[in-house]
Amino acid sequence: MYNRLLLVGAGHSHLEVLRQLKEGHRDDWDVCMINPSPYQYYSGMFSGFTEEIYTEGEMRVDLRKLTKSAGVHLIQKKAFKLKAEQKKIVCEDGSVYPFDVISFDIGSKSLPATFEDTIARTIKPNYKFPDQIRRLRETNKPLIVGGGAAGTELAMAVQAYKQKHNIPGQVRLITAEKVMSHTPKWVSARMQKLLEKKGIRVWQDERVEEVFEEFVKTDRGNRVRHTGVLWLGGAIGDPIFENSSVAIDERNFALVRSTLQFRDYDFIFGAGDCTTMIDFPNLPKSGVYAVRQGPVLWQNLRSYLTGQPLESFTPQKNALYILSTGGKKGFLVYGPLSSHNQKAWQLKNKIDREFMAKYQ
Ligand SMILES: Cc1cc2nc3c(=O)[nH]c(=O)nc-3n(C[C@H](O)[C@H](O)[C@H](O)COP(=O)(O)OP(=O)(O)OC[C@H]3O[C@@H](n4cnc5c(N)ncnc54)[C@H](O)[C@@H]3O)c2cc1C
């Protein structure tokens, strides 16, 4: 029988695996977790942290504490290469860890390789978030690249922070499509108006092509001045899978079956943003699904380790999204329903705090 389980990344689904192990639901397995930081930061609270509603301690899980109580050995490293056939993982410092069964929940990247040597900053892996946002929110013309939920929410949070502290200047946002382009047109239009009302300067349908110290150049020939660039232009897969023999999609995400096993390997599992479900290739990269996959991932890891049949994960049709819009107001979207008010933010606050309470 297998007994060495290696968890790579402390994403949402793996937090649930740790919680279950802590509850004592385990056999005689040797479980290790590889994660570059001793903390897992929760993106649902990033906007609230930016506005100083939450402290840093409130938006992160202490992995040293959680792994200790779960009987899991925490290896504070970044996994770099998967040698699937040899059942080994190589970390950035060259160290090698063998496993019988491995599971990935490492999230995604956001900064494309072409911009890695520029002054553009990324919050991924997510432990980079507090330092990046602390620096950016103090400056006059912070520029956010990306008009999806993350970019839009953080632009409004930085604006709220600047207003609260009377920091002059204006938040800027450039997006290659419309803001919130993955939502119905009326949601996108409402969000656009809201950003304008808050004094955020928005460039839509415009792509950043070059990043310089003091300005960026767009494909429309505009030069947009900035005092710092935060890149939130959509999820890209970590290169870890690219040079291994596992099947990936066109954005480098590992292809997984409904059992959350990699397409060609029964002993490799994965959940959250780093994977694409073969049966649901268009499922958004969103924490909602990473959370929902957690219990199925746990159940299937356990079943695989004990030789039991596995179950399937089926994503829900409609997911509830609540974006914080600043000043403790929220924009709620659920299927065709939407509302923008304090109640929506209060609901988000409740959901986020309850989620964190399970793992802190
Ligand atoms: C500002 C912002 C707000 C958001 N708000 C929401 C929201 O309200 N609701 C929602 O559903 N989604 C939201 N999202 C999207 C959400 O953050 C992601 O979809 C979600 O975090 C993905 O979860 P995950 O478990 O896949 O990975 P993550 O939460 O990203 O966790 C991955 C973990 O793996 C670690 N890791 C990374 N690389 C390696 C490696 N090579 N080796 C070892 N460990 C590694 C990281 O350090 C991290 O701890 C938001 C995103 C942002 C940026």
Kindly state if the Cβ of 84 falls inside 6 Å of ligand 1. no
Radius of gyration in angstroms for the set of CA atoms belonging to the chain, rounded to a whole number: 20
pLDDT at 1: 65
Residue 326 makes CB contacts below 8 A (sequence gap 6+) with 47, 51, 156, 157, 159, 160, 198
Chain mean position to CA 65: 22
Kindly state if the Cβ of 315 falls inside 6 Å of ligand 1. no
Dump the DSSP string for 229-261.
EEE----B--GGGTTSSS-B-TTSPEEE-TTSB
pLDDT at 183: 86
Q: Any idea of the CA torsion for 88, 91, 95, 96, to the nearest 10 degrees? A: 0
Nearest-atom number in ligand 1 for the CA of 285 is 19
The span from the CA of 174 to the CA of 213, in Å, is 17
Nearest-atom number in ligand 1 for the CA of 322 is 8
pLDDT at 243: 78
Cα–ligand 1 centroid distance for 126 (angstroms): 6
Domain ranges of the chain: 4-108+235-305, 113-234
Name the β-bridge partners of 323: 331
Cα–ligand 1 centroid distance for 286 (angstroms): 8
Pocket test for ligand 1, best of 78, 183, 286 (most atoms within 8 A of CB): 286
- CA distances (Å), origin 29, targets 15, 73, 306: 17, 11, 10
Kindly state if the Cβ of 14 falls inside 6 Å of ligand 1. no
Same fold, 4-108+235-305 and 113-234: yes
Kindly state if the Cβ of 150 falls inside 6 Å of ligand 1. yes
pLDDT at 189: 94
Q: What is the DSSP letter of 127?
A: G
Cβ density class 215-231: b for 16+ within 10 Å, e for less: bbebeeeeebebebbbb
pLDDT at 245: 86
Chain mean position to CA 9: 11
Q: Which residues of the chain have pLDDT under 50?
A: none
Cα–ligand 1 centroid distance for 149 (angstroms): 13
Task: Please name the helix (run of DSSP H) or strand (run of DSSP E) that holds residue 347, with its range, or none.
Answer: helix 342-359
Half-sphere exposure of 59 (CA within 13 A, CB side): 22
Kindly state if the Cβ of 287 falls inside 6 Å of ligand 1. yes
Beta carbons of 79 and 102 less than 8 angstroms apart: no
User: Considering only CA atoms, which residue is closest to atom 15 of ligand 1?
Assistant: 286
CATH architecture assignment, domain 4-108+235-305: 3-Layer(bba) Sandwich (3.50)
Kindly state if the Cβ of 36 falls inside 6 Å of ligand 1. yes
Kindly state if the Cβ of 272 falls inside 6 Å of ligand 1. yes
Q: Where are the beta strands (DSSP E) in 258-298?
A: 268-270, 275-277
User: Considering only CA atoms, which residue is closest to atom 31 of ligand 1?
Assistant: 11
Q: Specify the CATH number of the domain 113-234.
A: 3.50.50.60
